[in-house]
Structure 1
Amino acid sequence: MSGIAILGAGIFAKEAHLPALAKLGANTPILRAVYSRSEKSAHDFATAAAATLKLDPAPTVYHDGGDPSVSLDALLTTRSDIDAVIVVLPITLQPSIIIKALAAGKHVLSEKPVAPDTSSGLSLIAKYNEEYKPKGLVWRVAENFEAEPGFQAAATAIRDGKIGKVSFFDVRVVNYIDKESKWYKTPWRTVPDYQGGFLTYCAIKQLDGGVHTAAALRVMLPSPLTHLSGFASLNKDYLPPHDTIHAIAKSIAKDSTTTFHGTASLTWASPTASKSVPDGITITGSDGWLSATTIYAEGVVRITIKSVVHAAGKPDEEREEIIDKPIQGVQRELESFFAATKGTDDGLGDPLGALRDVAFIQAGLDSNGALVDLEKLISSD
């Protein structure tokens, strides 16, 4: 790959993507261009990129504003030295930009969520599969929780039977957002024009949740969630349209051999910065349980496994295993994408998998107590 461009110059692009690209070192294609709707933000990002990635010259700046030679269209159609783009733009803009980039012959890594809702996501995936995938173009969705080594390690432990057959799970994500938060002050999130507000958007550090949590569950559970019932509410008037979901979900495998259920509590409406109960995911099986907790202060995802040891003629004993994996989700998803453009696909970033995450949140927002069939939400039939 001769070069890449980043489309979007906001907080997550600066604070997550640039450091991750730097950590990949020699395995990183050259960042040759950056686009933002704002000329100032594009210049600021290019300066930061040059310093972080030690680039000389700095990436070329493209932006909106009237000059067609520095527009997004110019970047996509005239830069033959750019093979792929990383799209880190507001969710309402991303679907059209993804298609525009694919039409220009660029591979695409787009930030999660895959689309604002399942209907538009299905249309986007169908168009990619019909028109661009046959041309050898790669489109992946950057969901860093899916790529986190910690959640992948938890999935391996469950597949290896360390907690037996999965019976139920519990998810808790509690966040405190005030009007001084840098995430709250981002204009497109303070007046959201897509469902779910903060619940649909996925951020960095203390705001992880929504589709992030759904992705972590998707990775760890032995089969997809198929049904959900829940309630959504608004508890802080400056976080419309919703800031809280409480749901119960279950999985019924097609052969009916695997059935389990669990609860999910997701809120951005905590009245205090302190938490009454730590965030985390706990999955319980017939022979033990596993918990997954992201500890940002230590830079790790910690997996705790308690297994029951059965010994003939002796009381059952508990065996504990703790696995700490460094937080590397963004780095890992970039690495996976670059490998996919060269023909090595490890399955990370599959748009249909990311659509399941949107379906989980969409169902939680729309259910109002009714049972929602998640499989129908992601079905094109």
Structure 2
Amino acid sequence: MTGIALLGAGIFAKEEHLPAIEASAALTLKAVYSRSQQSAEALAAGSKDPSSVAIYYDSPPVAGKSLDDLLRRDDIAAVDVALPILHQPGVVEKALRAGKHVLSEKPVAGDVEGAQKLIAWYEGLGGGAKPLWGVAENWRYMESLRYAAQKVAEIGGTLVTFRLHKYGFVRSDNKYFNTEWRKTPQYQGGFLLDGGVHFVAGLRFLLAVAGQEIKQLAGFSALLDERLIPVDTVHAVAITQGGQSGTIGISFGTEFKDGMEIEIVTTRGAVVWNPTEVKSVASKGNGSNEKVEEKKEFPYSSGVTAEVGAFAKAIEAGKVDALQTPQEAFRDLEILQRLLESGAGGATVKAIGV
């Protein structure tokens, strides 16, 4: 089995990544790291066997306990990086330089410029076989979303339109809101960046099955709740390379509207997805106007266990999973950033992939 370390901070690393690593038959958790001793100890305490997990931290400084010390261990071949957004790129680079395979949390970086720089550096690594770098986007591994993609493929046809609508409200007692780096974000978009790349990834996943990718967008943004700085809502129109238009609405500030849906409409039918249900309607194809409607329900699953499992398989195969490439994560980030830029500019049209 591959020895792996979890470089994490906060609730998500403990409640999602830690059990996902321990559920993998191909990975052995050997160490955890967090910036402070207290958070590192809390992270390790959540493991199945805390006594078998070494603890590393940088504050307070203790000889032999730093991140650099962890990365020097020969028995650790890979690291799972689940740190705050702005801290991740530097740690990712440091771990790759140390020869460790890396699975880093989304987004790939805090902004497009930083992501381009990091990806270019990685692609330029010379010498022998370089370590693998995958970017974790668990939505691409959700069973319900994959089933929705299957239904889009089965129905077929040419894309007509699409819709991504995510609404909700981040309350003051929300466990994620009460992580300081999210409460006072030093990065663009606040929750729209932190959570929004998930929604964009889901939309892109289904659009790809229909043979399309977003190439232009224009939208308006707003701050509906002053706690959720710098902006918590965006509404936009997006256009694919084939000229089909659709809508994107994302808000974390709508107290009395809640829900998550992605809809793909083609010339032969439609699929509507949410995390626990997939609905589809399609023509019977017998020349009549009759339609076939289906609905399938799913227990909620974040997809994190599956994404960590895919990373473990990638290490064994020596090639990163296509759904975890930094380039794939970059496209999610680019669309999200262009949404924010367009909103700030009053619906200025933004090109994607130029």
TM-score, normalised via structure 2 length: 0.93
1:370 and 2:352 matched: no
Q: Tell me the amino acid that sits aligned with residue 362 of structure 1.
A: Q
Task: Give 5+ residue unaligned stretches, structure 1.
Answer: 203-209, 253-257, 296-301, 377-381
Q: How far has the Cα of 1:127 moved from its partner?
A: 0.8
Q: How far has the Cα of 1:188 moved from its partner?
A: 0.5
Give 3-state SS (helix, strand or coil) of 1:20's partner.
helix
Cα deviation, 1:301-354, whole Å, max 9, x if unaligned, reads x22110012324xx4111123344552511111111111111254412111111
Q: Which runs of 4+ in 1 moved over 3 A?
A: 323-326
Q: State the partner residue of 2:190.
A: 197
Q: Tell me the amino acid that sits aligned with residue 230 of structure 1.
A: G
Cα deviation, 1:1-57, whole Å, max 9, x if unaligned, reads 431000013111111112323433xx14111100011111111111111x3xxx363
1:241 and 2:215 matched: no
Cα distance in structure 2, aligned partners of 1:374 and 1:359: 7
Q: Tell me the amino acid that sits aligned with residue 235 of structure 1.
A: L
1:318 to 287, 291, 296: 291
Question: Structure 1 residues 42, 285: CA separation in 2 closer, same or farther (over 3 Å shift)?
Answer: same
TM-score, normalised via structure 1 length: 0.86
Once superposed, what is the RMSD of the aligned Cα atoms? 1.7
1:73 and 2:68 matched: yes
Q: Tell me the amino acid that sits aligned with residue 356 of structure 1.
A: R
- Larger deviation: 221-230 or 55-64? 55-64
2:212 to 223, 234, 240: 223
Provide the identity percentage.
37
Instruction: Write out aligned runs for 1:142-291 (5 A).
Output: 142-160=136-154, 162-202=155-195, 210-221=196-207, 222-252=211-241, 258-272=242-256, 275=258, 278-291=259-272
| Cα pair 2:4 2:28 within 8 Å, conserved | yes
- Aligned length in residues: 345
Instruction: Write out aligned runs for 1:290-301 (5 A).
Output: 290-295=271-276
Give 3-state SS (helix, strand or coil) of 2:55's partner.
strand
| Cα pair 2:163 2:246 within 8 Å, conserved | yes
Cα deviation, 1:171-198, whole Å, max 9, x if unaligned, reads 1111111211111111001111110000
2:122 to 104, 125, 128: 128
Cα distance in structure 2, aligned partners of 1:68 and 1:91: 27
Cα distance in structure 2, aligned partners of 1:72 and 1:194: 24
Give 3-state SS (helix, strand or coil) of 1:245's partner.
strand
Q: Tell me the amino acid that sits aligned with residue 265 of structure 2.
A: T
Cα deviation, 1:58-90, whole Å, max 9, x if unaligned, reads 31010112213101111112x111000000001
| Cα pair 2:5 2:32 within 8 Å, conserved | yes
Q: Tell me the amino acid that sits aligned with residue 284 of structure 1.
A: V
Task: Give 5+ residue unaligned stretches, structure 2.
Answer: none
Q: How far has the Cα of 1:372 moved from its partner?
A: 0.5
Q: State the partner residue of 1:360.
A: 335
Q: How far has the Cα of 1:265 moved from its partner?
A: 0.7
Q: State the partner residue of 2:104.
A: 110
